Amino acid sequence: MRHVAIVGSGPAGYYTAETLQKAEDIAVDVIDRLPVPYGLIRTGVAPDHQSIKAVSRRYEGTALTDNVRFVGHVSVGTDVTIDELVDLYDAVILATGAPNDRPLDIPGATLPGVIGSAAFVGWYNGHPDFADLAPSLDAPGVAVIGNGNVALDVARILAKTAQEFTGSDIVAHARAALEASAVRHISILGRRGPHQIAMTPKELGELGHLERASPRVDPADLPPEGDDAMLEPGMRKSVTHLRSFTANPVAKPVTIDFDFFAMPVAIEGDGRVQRVIVERTRLDADLRSHGTGETYAIDAGLVISCIGYQTPPIPGVPYEHGRGRFASDEGRILPGLYAVGWARRGPSGTIGTNKPDGARIGEMVIEDIGRGAGKAGRPGLDALLASRNITPVTFRDWRRIEEAEVAAALDGRPREKFTSVEAMLAAIGR
Ligand code: NAP
């Protein structure tokens, strides 16, 4: 038997496992620090995007194959080290994603009320690390920094009514806080223009159909309509949505203002955030933004920075600091150590982008490990964890946690997620 460990049970991890399990003599252990699998599918993808989350059924199919095992509630770095895994397995694949926010490096960014999207998204999705975030929703203004799909997710979730969360798996604490929210003006700040957004058409289109919120774009920010012809079709569709938002006559109680050519340069407030100082920008020939010196203030009681993510470094594992990902040669980090998904490429692309990535790294590993080196693999890990009194959560345990979550569902939601590791473990009697 050949032995492979995958660290991280999100999309990249399970797509890689799917390829590896096709080679019948490879035992795959998918290790996660949480007692529940699926990473970003559970705690990153927006709760009102259930059709995207449905891909977890595919990962379940992989998890239930004979050679794939879920090893939950085991922290690599604390419970077991990378070096120990490399000793035990023919290959170790880091599929740890990019869970840390890129830092917002401006004065005032550490004021209370300034948070990153990882925290905010984790909060409404029930990630145990962020269940206690309690974002301040008591002021009318919120500034959302960034022009990617995460900024859109965040603005949409802030704008929705409780009714609009029917059928979503938003956690109860977030639904209740959003229902009581005083937020009325959401400003989405983009440092470049409408032709430089990183938003996709389906997600932009959704903003046009919200019950109590209307998106608005200043027509003066848009280039002449003829310029849209040179855009690739998806981008052209996105910009068409933005154009439709310029003619928004509907007076709804919540506004979502797209503020383009708007670069946050400072955050101010007395003990907590009260306003964002924004500098107007212009673009150079290479489409890079530069401040014009003209500044203005936006009132905000909450600032959510959605400017991309980073993979946390692991001591001893080569890392590209500029790009916030492991340093690898197409996925090979060191002999026996690989990266896949956002940990390899950086945080770009959709969930589906991880499918070919996982297939490629899976095939690369199968080729590299040859017949295997007779490593201890799975029994070796079990012995090591037992010697440390660590009992992993199995996939069968997870199914019991899931059943308990589904049984607890309220208000038309498909499940009531447990938001602490303790509650997850309690569901399996630990
Ligand atoms: P992203 O797509 O990389 O967008 C980041 C945005 O932040 C860009 O608009 C960027 O502007 C801006 N930015 C970066 N640094 C900044 C700074 N210092 N000040 C102001 N703005 C700054 O990242 P993301 O939105 O986090 O999304 C990550 C990935 O997940 C993307 O591939 C996204 O498509 C995907 N995703 C998909 C979905 C979906 O399919 N429904 C949902 C969520 C996320 P510049 O362009 O000027 O650098």
Residue 35 has pLDDT above 90, yes or no: yes
Summarised one tens digit per residue, pLDDT across range 154-198 is 999 999 999 999 999 999 999 999 999 999 999 999 999 999 999
Whole-angstrom Cα distance, residue 184 to residue 253? Answer: 7
Nearest atom in ligand 1 to the alpha carbon of residue 44 is 43
Cα–Cα nearest to 307, from 405, 399, 189, 403: 189
Q: Does the C-beta of 206 come closer than 6 Å to ligand 1?
A: no
What is the pTM for the complete model shown? 0.96
pLDDT, average across residues 145-160: 98
- pLDDT number for residue 251: 78
What is the DSSP secondary structure assignment for residue 382, as one 8-state letter? H
Q: Does the C-beta of 101 come closer than 6 Å to ligand 1?
A: no
Query: Residues 54, 352: contact at Cβ < 8 Å?
Result: no
Residue 247 has pLDDT above 90, yes or no: no
- Extract the runs of DSSP E, i.e. beta strands, from 225-331: 254-259, 262-268, 275-283, 289-299, 302-305, 309-310, 319-320, 325-326
Q: Does the C-beta of 146 come closer than 6 Å to ligand 1?
A: yes
pLDDT, average across residues 231-260: 93
Residue 328 has pLDDT above 90, yes or no: yes
CA of 283 relative to ligand 1 center, distance in Å? 18
Q: Compute CA distances 46 → 4, 167, 189, 332, whole Å.
A: 31, 12, 20, 31
Residue 306 has pLDDT above 70, yes or no: yes
- pLDDT number for residue 318: 98
Residue 249 has pLDDT above 80, yes or no: no
Nearest atom in ligand 1 to the alpha carbon of residue 147 is 9
pLDDT, average across residues 197-219: 96
% pLDDT > 70, the chain: 100
Whole-angstrom Cα distance, residue 92 to residue 343? Answer: 13
Residue 248 has pLDDT above 80, yes or no: no
- pLDDT number for residue 183: 98
Cα–Cα nearest to 80, from 31, 114, 123: 31
Whole-angstrom Cα distance, residue 147 to residue 329? Answer: 30
- pLDDT number for residue 24: 84
Whole-angstrom Cα distance, residue 357 to residue 411? Answer: 38
Q: Per-residue confidence at 413, pLDDT binned at 50, 70, 90?
A: confident
- pLDDT number for residue 204: 97
The protein residue with its alpha carbon nearest to ligand 1, atom 9, reads 147
223: left (phi over 0), alpha (psi -120 to 50) or beta: beta
Nearest atom in ligand 1 to the alpha carbon of residue 199 is 34
Whole-angstrom Cα distance, residue 174 to residue 428? Answer: 25
State the alpha helices, DSSP H only, in 226-272.
Answer: 233-244
Please, what is the average pLDDT of the chain?
Answer: 97
pLDDT, average across residues 6-13: 98
Helix (H, G, I), strand (E, B) or coil at 203: helix
pLDDT, average across residues 214-232: 97
CA of 309 relative to ligand 1 center, distance in Å? 9
Q: Does the C-beta of 150 come closer than 6 Å to ligand 1?
A: yes
- pLDDT number for residue 239: 98
Q: Does the C-beta of 308 come closer than 6 Å to ligand 1?
A: yes
Q: Does the C-beta of 114 come closer than 6 Å to ligand 1?
A: no
Q: Per-residue confidence at 410, pLDDT binned at 50, 70, 90?
A: confident
Cα–Cα nearest to 6, from 118, 82, 65: 82
Q: Extract the tokens encoding 151.
A: 């900024």
Cα–Cα nearest to 385, from 91, 92, 88: 88
The secondary structure element, H or E, covering residue 5 is strand 2-7
